[in-house]
Structure 1
C-alpha cells in the first residue's frame, strides 16, 4: 500500500536538494512537490519508508494522515 509522506531535508544539504530528490525517487518515492526550503512531498510503498528514513540528509519523514470531517449540518455521531 502506498502512503503519502512529507520529508524535510537537513539545512546543510539544501544545495543538493534536487540530487537527494533524485536518489529518493530511485528508491521508490513518487515525488509530488519539491520545495526549495527543503521539503519534499510524495508517496511511497510501506516497505520503502524505513529505507528512506535511514538517509543522513533527511531530518524528518512524516506519514501524511488523512482525516474526514462530517458536514456542518450532519447529526453528531
Structure 2
C-alpha cells in the first residue's frame, strides 16, 4: 500500500504525484490518501477521471483533528 498525507503538502504537487503513481501501479494495489479538507476528495476524483478505481472514504480523528482517509484501489 502506498500512502500520502496531504495535510501539510502543496496540494497540486501531491495530486500530480498521486496521478503519476496511479498510472504505474497494478490492478488491486492501493493508494491511501489522508487530508484534512473535504476538497481533497473532489480533487482526487477530478485528477483520476479516466481511470477505473474503487474509492472508500472514512472520516477519522487524528490528534483531535478530523481528517479524511481515502483508499483508492486500482481496478483492471
The structure with the largest strand share of the pair is 2
Establish whether TM, by shorter chain, passes 0.5.
no
Query: If you compute each CA radius of gyration, which structure gives the higher value, 1 or 2?
Result: 1
Shorter-chain TM range is 0.3 to 0.5
Give the alignment's TM-score, normalised by structure 1: 0.37
